[in-house]
Amino acid sequence: MFDSQVIAFTVVAAALTMAPGADTMLVVRNVLRGGRRDGFVTTAGICTGLFVHALLSALGISVILMHSATAFSMVKIAGACYLGWLGLQSLRAASRGSVTRPVEAGALLTVSAARCFREGFLTNVLNPKVAVFYLALLPQFIAPGDPVLAKSLLLTAIHFVQGMLWLGMVAIIVDRSRRYFLRPVIRRWMDALCGTLLVGLGLRLALQRQ
């Protein structure tokens, strides 16, 4: 199953993985909130969500999202609301005035790994754009004689590794710069920026047509 189609998919998926979006902003926000570990766990949740879309696509369930306006709208609104909720959390943190939190103390919030994983997982799974992308893209790299489910999982595994490497690198870079970002004024501005972008991405998703 390792053929020219797999290589072509690897190139396309790499370009899409590095395109900034809600996943990147969520990883940045969680690294600033709780450190490198939170960023890695959030990344694992995001990338694990890819397998859900791959399975739905391989089983044909994602067709509903492309041909049913109601189903598409329901998933779209759910995803938009979740992104908006995450964004509002960051905006609330900015408005609370984290300027009173000393940088020397680490300024880390204790958040469970399960919560970080869940935030990443739901952000990915509730994004209908990812489902439609998988439904439209994966079949282009599956030959008529290939086992559909196995080939879909192989391609998704490649995308998973790319996502882990790219977003993991983002988490490391942000974590190494945390001392700068955790300066009280900068931290508030970063919380506000991440929150605004997440809310904006949620609104964009909500207003997107099928």
For 176-203, the pLDDT digits (tens) are 887 776 666 766 776 777 778 777 867 7
User: Higher confidence at residue 170 or residue 209?
Assistant: 170
- Structural domain of 81: 22-207
Give per-residue pLDDT as tens, 141-179.
777 777 878 888 899 999 999 999 999 999 999 988 877
Where does the pLDDT of residue 104 fall: very low under 50, low under 70, confident under 90, or very high at 90 and above?
Answer: very low
User: What crossing angle do the helices spanning 148-176 and 22-34 adopt, rounded to 10°?
Assistant: 40
6 domain-assigned? no
Where does the pLDDT of residue 1 fall: very low under 50, low under 70, confident under 90, or very high at 90 and above?
Answer: low
Q: What is the mean pLDDT of residues 19-43?
A: 89
Q: What is the mean pLDDT of residues 113-134?
A: 86
Q: Could you tell me if 147 and 45 are in contact, meaning their C-beta atoms sit under 8 angstroms apart?
A: no
Q: From CA 172, how far away is CA 75, in angstroms rounded?
A: 32
Q: Which of 101-105, 111-115, 125-129 shows the lowest per-residue confidence on average (mean pLDDT)?
A: 101-105
Q: From CA 24, how far away is CA 16, in angstroms rounded?
A: 12
62 domain-assigned? yes
Q: Return the pLDDT at 145.
A: 74
pTM of the model: 0.72
16 domain-assigned? no
Number of separate domains in the chain: 1
77 domain-assigned? yes
Give per-residue pLDDT as tens, 44-70.
999 999 999 888 877 766 566 556 666
106 domain-assigned? yes
Q: From CA 149, how far away is CA 58, in angstroms rounded?
A: 6
53 domain-assigned? yes
Instruction: State the CB neighbour count (10 A cutoff) for residue 156.
Output: 23
Assess whether pLDDT exceeds 80 at residue 13: yes
Could you tell me which of 178, 181, 196, 186 has the C-alpha nearest to residue 91?
196
Report in angstroms the alpha-carbon separations of 203 from 30, 33, 90, 121: 21, 23, 16, 20
User: Higher confidence at residue 208 or residue 134?
Assistant: 134
User: Higher confidence at residue 30 or residue 84?
Assistant: 30
